[in-house]
Amino acid sequence: MHTIAHAVLLVLAAFGVFVVGYYALINVGYLFLHVLALFELREDVRESRWNPPFRKFSTPFYPGIGIVVPAYNEETTIVESVRSMLALNYPDIEVVVVNDGSTDATLDRLVETFDLATVEAEIPFDVPAADIHDVYRSTTYEELLVLDKDNGGKSDALNAGIWLTDMPLFCAVDSDTIIDRDALLDLVTPFLKEPTTAVAAGGVIRVANGCTIEDGLVTDVSLPGTGLPGLQVMEYLRAFYSGRLGLNRLNGLILISGAFGLFQTETVREIGGYRHDTITEDFDIVVRLHRHLTEQDREYTVDFVPEPVAWTEVPSTRRVLSRQRRRWYRGMVETVITNRSMMFNPRYGRVGTLVMPFFVAAETIGPLIEGLGYVVIPVAWYFGALNLEFAVMFFLLTTGFGVFLSWFGVFSEVWSFNRYDSPWQVLRLLWYGVLENFGYRQWKTLVAWRGLLEYLRGVESWGVMERSGFSTDDE
């Protein structure tokens, strides 16, 4: 019995050492990405200050953009979202709203608000989407097209819009998203600089909860209260102004948010559009573009542009947020497994040899190991298998370094485009950066474990993302 207990203590000690060492390496990688992000951000800020923004209709050379908006039961946000897109400062756009078999008043609100009338439209026979019943065009906004189709999911709805637009570029936008008026002018920049090689570009997503929105535009930027939306503000800042900027510096961007991404239409059609059997179509489509274009030996670029912003309503309850994050995790695991042949494969350049392995280690496996660490290391310390220094080191590597990375994101925000411009807002951001690492971070590891178990059980549902609509109230 004594031998078994001794063996258990050795296992606990070994696992504790492994967890501390693992997170030390992961944090070195995160720090490297954040430093790269600062260099990338410095160049972007300099460029934005020296190049005045494009003025509407001043040049005929901007490529046309089809804004594809999949909408399923989005009656609370669809009108404000479409208004924001119609108000965009861009010379050649077509807003394509795809009503994906909504069972609420989404289509009725669109018809009533924008004076829609049915039109004859040639529907491609090879469109990889469910049946399209009717095509509407607004009698007051000629650039607004609405498709009414059977429900097929977000990927299916995106494909319908991609195949029906004639624009050389398309912008994938969530229906609960508000886009800044000049955002497309900035987001299209990579396609103007490298018109023969640019295939995709992503902008920044920020939290709309608490902001004032009038006529489809964010007129006052405010922070939500110290609840779940406030903690998510920090997550979004860190993800976009540190993580994706760093990956962009490495020419290894593998994720463009499904809420705000610009793509070359024909190239996405080449790979068959968005897959129907994935629940994180934004991650999947970018990885598949990398894979396809590399295998074709084509020169290409996938860029992150830090200046253009789209605003989205984030979940304000733990139940809905957990549902969203479990879906994200399941989709991440599915995409990684589907494209596992790219891992450590020099054929795919930095994406295969560096970016994807680190992504899997940090974002897929990391939360699982961290979650176990919160249980095993205190137990190992309690029974004397590990000394107190190891427990403290684990705490510093997770919670302590997490605060540092969050504040790093705040610094990047204040130093660059600074949407939260009052000292009080900056102080609140710093407070969110501390608060999210005590309770919220640990809860997310539990959500990751639940997401993994759901993936292993074959759960494929999206779940209902409940919306309260854009408002000025703190969520």
Residue 339, phi then psi, degrees to nearest 5:
-110, 30
Q: List beta partners, residue 179.
A: 310
Q: What is the mean pLDDT of the chain?
A: 88
Q: What percent of the chain has pLDDT over 90?
A: 52
Residue 96: its H or E element:
strand 93-100
Mean pLDDT, residues 106-135 taken together: 89
Q: Who wins on pLDDT, 417 or 288?
A: 288
SS3 467: coil
Predicted pLDDT of residue 278 = 84
CA–CA dist 223, 178 (Å, integer): 16
The answer on pLDDT for 318 being more than 80 is yes
Residue tagged 């573009």 (tokens): 289
pLDDT, position 254: 94
- For β-strands 132-138 and 116-118, DSSP reports them as antiparallel
DSSP 42-55: HHHHHHHHHSPPPP
β-pairing, 260-264 vs 169-173, is: antiparallel
pLDDT tens by residue, 258-267: 889 999 999 9
HEC readout, 267-328:
HHHHCCCCCCCCCCHHHHHHHHHHHHHHHCCCCCEEEEEEEEEEEECCCCCHHHHHHHHHHH
Q: Using the structure block, give the residue that is written with the tokens 């590990």.
A: 386
Q: How far apart are CA 385 and CA 10, in angstroms?
A: 7
Contact, 281 vs 258, CB < 8 A? Answer: yes
Query: Cβ of 124: how many Cβ atoms within 10 Å?
Result: 12
pLDDT of 4 strictly over 80: no
Instruction: Identify how many contiguous H helices and E strands the chain contains and give both numbers.
Output: 18, 12
pLDDT for res 473: 43
The model's pTM: 0.89
Going along the chain from its start, the domains and CATH numbers come out as 1-45+348-457 (no CATH), 60-341 (3.90.550.10)
The pLDDT score that the predictor gives to residue 463 is 59
CB distance 432 to 234 below 8 Å: yes
Is residue 69's pLDDT more than 90?
yes
Q: What is the mean pLDDT of residues 38-42?
A: 85
The whole-number pLDDT of residue 367 equals 95
pLDDT in tens, 360-374: 999 999 999 999 999
Per residue in 330-360, pLDDT (tens digit) is 999 999 999 999 999 999 999 999 999 999 9
Residue 115 Cα to chain centre, angstroms: 33
pLDDT of 56: 47
Over residues 191-219, the pLDDT tens digits come to 999 999 999 999 999 999 988 888 778 88
H helices of 129-243, in order, are 154-164, 183-187, 189-193, 228-238
Tens of pLDDT, residues 73-94: 988 888 888 888 898 999 999 9
Total residues belonging to the chain = 475
Q: CA 408, CA 425: separation in Å to the nearest integer?
A: 16
Residue 121 has a pLDDT of 78
Enumerate residues 6+ apart whose C-beta is below 8 A from 84: 177, 178, 179, 216, 217
- Say whether pLDDT at 189 is over 70: yes
Q: What is the pLDDT of residue 342?
A: 96
Q: How confident is the model at residue 380 (pLDDT cuts 50, 70, 90)?
A: confident
Most trustworthy range by pLDDT among 174-178, 372-376, 471-475: 372-376
Token reading at 128: 């990889």
Using the predicted structure, report yes or no on whether residue 1 has a pLDDT greater than 60. Answer: no
Q: Which residue has the higher pLDDT, 449 or 395?
A: 449
pLDDT (0 to 100) of residue 57: 47
CB 301 within 8 A of CB 251: yes
Closest CA to 81 of 92, 89, 69, 72: 69
The predicted pLDDT at position 474 comes to 41
CA dist list (Å): 152 to 98, 155, 250, 283, 305: 11, 8, 36, 19, 31
106, 79 contact by CB (below 8 A): no
At 239, the pLDDT band (50, 70, 90 cuts) reads: confident
Give the number of other Cβ atoms within 10 Å of residue 389's Cβ.
Answer: 10
Would you state the pLDDT for residue 470? Answer: 54
Residue 153 contacts by C-beta under 8 Å, 6 or more apart in sequence? 100, 276, 462
Taking residues 320-324, report their average pLDDT.
94
